[in-house]
Structure 1
C-alpha cells in the first residue's frame, strides 16, 4: 500500500498494480485552471487510485463535482496533544497575541492582522515562522516580535505561553474558504490558547463558537474587536481555551493514523 499526497507521484504509481491511496490537499484544476495537464493528472488519479483521503469536506465536495470518486474518507489535519492542559497565568492583562505559520500567501490574511494591530496600541504581536520584516507596516513594526523558523517542539513550547492566538485567513481564496485544514488552528487548540479565527466554512469544520471567537474575514476592524472581546473577558478566554484543548484531542496524530488505517483496511489492502 502506498499513501501519497504528491499528485505526480500518485499519478505515476496509479494503474501499475499498486494499491495507491491519494491524500488530497488541493484541487489543481481550480488552482491552475489553464493547465490541462494537471487536471488530466487529477482525472487519472480519480480513475485509478484505490481510495482518496480528503483533509476537508469542502475538498471532497468539489472533487466529486469534477471527477469520478473512488472510495474516500475525510480526515482533517492533526496535532500533537498535551496530556495535561497547559497552564496560563491570567492574573495580568493580555499584552501579547500570537501568530504561527507562513506569511508567504495572501490568503493567510497577514495584511488583515497587521491592520488590526494598528487599532490595538497596547498589544504586541509575536510571530512564529519565517517572516520578512519589510512586509510589516511601519506604524506597527516596533510591536511585532519575529521568532523566525523554529523546530516543531520549540513551536509547541512557545505556543504554551500564548493566551490568544490568531487565525486570520482570507475569504478571497477558495483554498482558504473551503479546502484548507489549518495545522496552526489545531496547534493553537492543543497549546491551550484562546483562538480568534476567520468565520469560514473550512474553519467551522473543526471549531464552533464553543471553542473560539469568530470574526468577519478580511475585516481588520472586526478582528480587532474580536481580540478585545477576549482581552476584556479572562473568564471567556479561559472557557474557550479549555474547550479548544479538549476538542484538539480528537485531532491527535495517533487518532488520525488510526482513521487512515481503518480506511485502508476497508479497502482490503491491509
Structure 2
C-alpha cells in the first residue's frame, strides 16, 4: 500500500459534455493515461446515479464518485452539495494509510478548507490554474491574500506559460514547485480529420464556447469582408439552447452574412471531428484583448486544431503564442480586417510545412505524453 498513488480532484464535474472543463478534466486525468501509470483517480460528479449520458466508459479500476448524486432540492443550496463533497473527501483521505496522496484544487475558494483538512489527513495540495484561479477572478481580493494562497500550496500547474508570466508581472512569487503543462489532446483522433482543398467553396470552421472573451463576433465581422465563396461553419453553445440560436442569428443579421453561415448547434465532442472539422478549409481560433483571453486561458481548441492537417488562423495574443508560433499557425490581431487577411492567406497557401510543424508541436501535448510528464512531477513533490 505504501507504493500507492492517488489523486482527489476537488471539483464538482457536471454531467454530459455541456461543460468543456469537465470533459477536459476527464481527458487529462482519466482517459489520458494517469491510471495506466498507477494513479487512482477520484472525481466527484454532480449527477444523479443514472445521468451518465455521453460520458465515456471507464475501466473498473478507475475510481469515480457519484458522491453528489443527491436530489435537485439540495443543489439549490450549494452548502449541502459542498458538505457532501467534503464528507467524501475526508473518507477518501483518512482511508489512505500510505503512498503518494494528492489533492488538486482549481480555485483559491477551496484553499482554507483544504488546509484544515490537511491537518487531519496527510496529502500534498496543488493548484491547477485556470481562468477562475487567476488573481483578477480570485476570491483573494488583496495582493497579500493571493500570495498567501500561492505560499500555502505544495505546487502549481500552469496550463499556459502566459499565466505564469502574468502572475510574475503582477509581482507575485509562484511556488517553488511549478510546472507549465497545457491541457492534453488526443492527437491520434484529430490527425484523421480531412482538409477541403476546394477553391470554389472555402469553409471556415469554429467549434467552441460563445462566452464574450472568445470573441465570436470577430468571425462574423471577418466573414463580411471576405468574398462570397467563403462560408462559416460554427458549432457550440449549450445543449438545446435557444439563447445560442438567437445569438448566432443576431450576429448573422448584424453583419449581413446569414446566407453564408451554417450553425450546427451543440455537437457532442466525440462527433466534432466527423460533423464539424472534416471538410474545413481553415480552422479559426478567435479571442479578444481581455485579461482572460490574453493571459488566463489555455485554448484547448487551438491544441486540437494543431493536431489536424488543416491550416489555422488564431488571434495573436500571449495565451496563443504560449502554445504556438507564427511558423505553425497564422497569427492575426483581433481586428476584422487583419483577421480576414490572414484567412485569405491561409486558404490560398499550400501550408504543408506549417501544418507539419503544428502537428509536431501538438504531439508534445498528447494526452499520454502529458500524463508521463505530470506523473513524474507529482512523484517529485
What TM-score do you get using the length of structure 2 for normalisation? Answer: 0.62
Task: After TM superposition, give the deviation of residue 40 of structure 1 in Å.
Answer: 6.7
Q: Is the 8 A contact 2:233 2:262 kept in 1?
A: yes
- In the alignment, which residue of structure 1 is the partner of 2:32? none
Does residue 90 (structure 1) correspond to residue 90 (structure 2)? The answer is: no
Partners of 2:196 and 2:150 in 1: CA distance = 50
Question: Given the alignment, which residue of 280, 283, 296 partners 1:162?
Answer: 280
Moved more, 160-169 or 55-64: 55-64
Which segments of 5 or more consecutive residues in structure 1 lack a partner in the other structure?
none
Task: After TM superposition, give the deviation of residue 80 of structure 1 in Å.
Answer: 1.2
- In the alignment, which residue of structure 2 is the partner of 1:55? 159
- In the alignment, which residue of structure 1 is the partner of 2:336? 220
- In the alignment, which residue of structure 2 is the partner of 1:9? 110
Partners of 1:9 and 1:111 in 2: CA distance = 35
What TM-score do you get using the length of structure 1 for normalisation? Answer: 0.86
Partners of 2:178 and 2:287 in 1: CA distance = 27
Partners of 1:152 and 1:40 in 2: CA distance = 40
- In the alignment, which residue of structure 2 is the partner of 1:230? 346
Partners of 1:256 and 1:56 in 2: CA distance = 13
Question: 1:50-102, CA deviations, whole angstroms, 9 ceiling, x for partnerless residues?
Answer: 11101122211333423552411111122111275544342544521001111
Partners of 1:91 and 1:124 in 2: CA distance = 12
Does residue 266 (structure 1) correspond to residue 380 (structure 2)? The answer is: yes
Partners of 2:292 and 2:372 in 1: CA distance = 26
Question: Given the alignment, which residue of 103, 122, 130 partners 1:25?
Answer: 130
- In the alignment, which residue of structure 2 is the partner of 1:137? 252
Question: Given the alignment, which residue of 167, 174, 192 partners 2:309?
Answer: 192
Structure 1 residues 161 and 14: alpha-carbon distance in aligned structure 2, compared to 1, 3 A threshold: farther
Q: Is the 8 A contact 2:284 2:314 kept in 1?
A: yes
Partners of 2:129 and 2:233 in 1: CA distance = 32
Task: After TM superposition, give the deviation of residue 126 of structure 1 in Å.
Answer: 0.6
Partners of 2:365 and 2:108 in 1: CA distance = 24
Aligned length: 260
Question: Given the alignment, which residue of 54, 71, 85 partners 2:177?
Answer: 71
Partners of 1:242 and 1:61 in 2: CA distance = 28
Q: Is the 8 A contact 1:186 1:251 kept in 2?
A: yes
Aligned-CA RMSD value:
2.3
Partners of 1:207 and 1:28 in 2: CA distance = 22
Moved more, 23-32 or 198-207: 23-32
Q: Is the 8 A contact 2:194 2:310 kept in 1?
A: no
Q: Is the 8 A contact 1:82 1:191 kept in 2?
A: no
Q: Is the 8 A contact 1:85 1:245 kept in 2?
A: no
Partners of 1:152 and 1:85 in 2: CA distance = 15
- In the alignment, which residue of structure 2 is the partner of 1:126? 233
Partners of 1:31 and 1:239 in 2: CA distance = 39
Q: Which structure's CA Rg is the greater one?
A: 2
Moved more, 137-146 or 155-164: 155-164
Query: Which structure is richer in relative contact order (CA contacts within 8 A, separation 6 or more)?
Result: 1
Question: 1:137-175, CA deviations, whole angstroms, 9 ceiling, x for partnerless residues?
Answer: 31012211111112211113332332301112112x112
- In the alignment, which residue of structure 2 is the partner of 1:147? 264
